[in-house]
Structure 1
Amino acid sequence: MLLFRKFPLLILCASFALHAQQSPADSLKLVFLNQKMHDTTKLLAIATTLEKQAPQDPQNIALNKLMGDLAIEKYNSDKGALHAKYASYCALYYNNLGAFFAARRDAPNTLAAIDKSISLFNQAKMPDEANFALISKATFLSRINEYEQAIAIVFKALQHFEKDRENNADEIAYAQATLARMYSDFGKYDKSIEYNTKIISFYESKKSPDVNGFYTLGTAYLNSGSSFTELKKYGDAVTNLEKGLKVFVKIGDVNNQSVAYAKLANVKIRQAKFDEAEALMKKSLENEIGPIYSANANVKFGLLYFKKKDFIKADLYLTKGLRLSEENGALELQEQASDLLYQTNRELGNFKKAFEMYELHDKLVDASKIEESKNQLAQQQLKYDYEKKELNYKLASEKENAAKNNLLTGLSGVLLLLVLGGFFYYRNSRQKQKIAVLEKNQIRQKLLLSQMNPHFIFNSIQNIRSLIRDKKDEAAVNYLNRFSKLTRQILENSDENYISLSEEIEMINNYLAIQQLLYSNSFEFSVDVAEEIETEAIFLPPMLTQPFIENAIKHGLSGMKTGGKIAVKFYQKEGKLFFEVTDNGRGFDASEKNENHKSMAMAITRERLGNHSG
């Protein structure tokens, strides 16, 4: 159902000046007052209304909550034939919720909402929608500089949609837009232009793109223009930027019209055509635009006046741009504004402010890397403050009641407080003991994992040497490429006590592919996960499964030149996660007859499992 793919995270960068003639809340009242109307019809009515509205319409939050409350209620209560249908509306709710959080640069809540959306889409057996949500996740990850994760995710989704290019052209274009932006961030402007050109070609060939299609087309033109500007191909830059401006004028998006004028002005600044740049910048502020777009325009105005050596005006616009960007969490604009303010105030001789801006810019350079940690800390602080207030209120009430009651009640209250104090003291002591034991176990886990990683790396290097010695150069290169990727995963997870099941499965696939190359494709393998398992929600110690798989290959399939099979399965039973590896060879019994053989990895893994089972 295409409706569910109409809600990408466009709220990150889009704001259309469209308004409904009638309040959607008013128009939906009749729907909800109709007791005979089925709940799925009500949900469809809300989803359709959301689809027709601008992404930043202030009523969207209320409408989305209305849809989410009803969908979640029915999802939890109706386990019949409509369960999957309700799951799909829950998924849409969380997808939209992720967009709202993304607009506020709230990384933890954004990613949590999108992951929940992906899980529910998969549960509803809607793989296209799940992969479309993956692209939204990649888009957001790229905006908080988590490029490595973003690239892996977007290519995974792109691979899915390219299985049916004809019917998934819009989805492929959306993925390409994300890649184009990332290539631009990396400074690979030619590659960015290549992807943007594909997007432009696709949407220009469509007879009637929808609003999202026009937005993607306009953005592709603007991004191409920016890339041409960086390559100093100013003629091509102006051509693309003017085409993008025309698209956003057509759909009434005043915010991105402002962006287009600012980008055109930037070209003129590069060419030292300051009067033309000033005229374009004035146009960028003609309309009532959003605060982030206003921040962008003010920073660009500041850049213009700095280039014109009108440092007083530059300071005025840059200060306003910095304030707006700080209020709206626009880190990139804060970096630009603080750097220019440092240079401007140095020229003005205002060394105190120049030093302040220098320090601010220095802090902002790495701010994007710690944004997620700051959000998590803020959440924990809010939770702590709430619990502290609740406890203080409870204690105050107890004191007030004790003062009003007679001596017996007072003594009882004192006794109760003593008992409670003793209980909390006892519980606190027990918790400290548990924490100490947990920390010791975590240190031991890291020690065991650090022993195991060299064991695996040593074996892999020996394998590469064998391939080179046997003059299997191509196999050695393939093996080395996969080995380097797997080594990176192992090193990244070495400091982690737990990783998600999805990350463990990715390492399993890489490891099996490496072993398949090593053993001249003498065996096939499969990795199956039961449908009910949410791989992002289950965590386990890293590299826990690898030694068992290694034994199955080295000993279970020992002596088999062809036709070997390795099957890895994950399933749940009675609330526990089970891991199973099977082969069609001799099995462990035959291999264990070699009494002189000792598996170091298996011994380490058994000890790690022993620590966790305790």
Structure 2
Amino acid sequence: MPLKFFRTFFLVAVLLFVCEPIFSQASNPKDSSYVSEILGRANAQNDPEYFIKSMDSVIAYSQKRKYAKGIAIAYWRKAVSYMRLSDAENAELFIKKNIAFTKQNKLDKYLAETFLFASAFHNQTADYVAAFSDASNALKTSLKMKDSLFIGRSYLQIGRCYSLKPDHAKSEESFKTAIAIFRKINNIPQLRDALSELAKIYVDKKEYPTALKLFSEAEHTAPEIPIDIFRLPHLYGNIARCYNEMGNNKMALDYYLKTLELTEQLGPGMMVIDLTTRTLVGELYIETGQYDLAEKYLKEALELAKVTNTLDDLRILYMDFSALYKLKKDYKKAYEYHELYVTYSDSIMNRDKMEALEDLSVQYQTNEVVSKNKLLQKQNALQKANAEKEQSRKNAWLIALSGALLLLVLGGWFYYRNNKQKQAIAALERNHIKQKLLITQMNPHFIFNSIENIQGLIYANKPDSAVDYLSKFSTLTRQILEHSNENYISLFDEVQMIKNYMAIQQLLYDNKFDYTIAVEEAIEQESLFLPPMLTQPFIENAIKHGLNNKAQGGMVNIRFYLEQNKLLFEVLDNGKGFDGQQKQTNHKSLAMTITKERLVNYTKNKDFVVQTDNVMDGTSVVGAKVRFEIPYIYEN
């Protein structure tokens, strides 16, 4: 199930409940009463657009009465309402307005409240650095006030920020600190939230009994104090996720359906949670083979996704529909939805590329203006020098100085031109290597064999196998083309590409071999980045040449591991070893040469060595092993 949906589900709920009303600070009873009355009517409507209009009335009244706290409340609640309407731009605007306003008027509690909401908002918009900064500012303000409730809530929000990194140890520590504070001051609603957040960490750690115990405490603690109905969808969604990961589909479905009952009751403000839950229910019904029910809930989710018009939601739903219709053997619809999925995937990629292109365009235009200014400055200086030269033609010292200056400018110009040429040549060489690598990866022999296999499966009336093979081949082709434009990709992406490649190779070679891919447990695959497609030529060599004497029973073991903080790659086969291998083809020699060039370029080590050894059993050769170091970047 897509992690993105879980994240959206939980973050939207956090946005709605991270803030507590604090307008009771108001010093003027009449003003406080007026604001309370407006808020009460707006809450009863449960309509974000009505709430925004009501807050405009509060702002007008408070400005007239010079009631600063009323304005702070209205700004904050408008930000919440815009977020419920998925209007991130206006939500961000009123967050910034309220931070500036509460700082100016020394309204520390309102400032802390706004920082807490801003942190939740920035987590929702994936600006995790800003989210953590906001949560830290909330804690700093709360400590200054010595307010236990706000200190606890700040630790709770800091824990949420850590959970998205994810850093389970620090998020668990923050949640436990918040729980201890809420128990001490006996704040039941906040205690329930903190218990639920801590339970989610144990779900991520797959410690399900502990998670369910914490969820149960959150649901049943202090039964005399009812749970806020707006918090229930968040709690039930978390419990459903836990049961789903445990494989208890019945309990997961029960809690998802409870969540839907609540979102229908609470209205438009719960649209995003409603969309997410219907999608998850549809996926659960696919998993349990109840395809008609899955189709019903996915169609309902699709209608909501078209309203929110979120590309990622639409992309995931089209992927789900494609999988559903494939299972129902409606291959026409499966193909149509797969095409929509690909189109929306490309749209998301193109959107990101266009944003990057716009940034580059701004940088280019800025640099162009700076260059023109410098050029004008040089032209003015030259004109001034010429005027001085004309006036003091007979002055030998000035002539000599002008000559020296001219030589200096020419020397600098030639140096600059030579340096730019070197840079251009180096860039061309890198692009040339990249293109050669792409050509090597996508060699015609491999492509033709793949297409012939797909054709054979179709002629053999095996549409499921053909679709599966075509899907793997399409995914691998897309991965190779996309990653060829990147200098670094995550180890996780590299492993996924190897898996697709090996699955296709197994089909090409009639499953005459098996394979394993092992990554050392200590390695964080999504945080470690390496140059793409360094390993493929060596893996292909192990299959094509190392196992060419094996009709069956071949084995290829692939391993990534750390040794003295160096990332090492190793491929081992049980073929005839290097002494018995035939001379490599030109294509494979080209691949090895290109890979060696890339490794030398990345490591800046001209003596870089790829270690090759035979695997021995006594005096007999029982296989071959290739090992080399891969340069990498670690990003926390």
**TM-score, length-normalised on structure 1?**
0.48
**Rg larger in structure:** 2
Report the TM-score when normalising by structure 2: 0.46
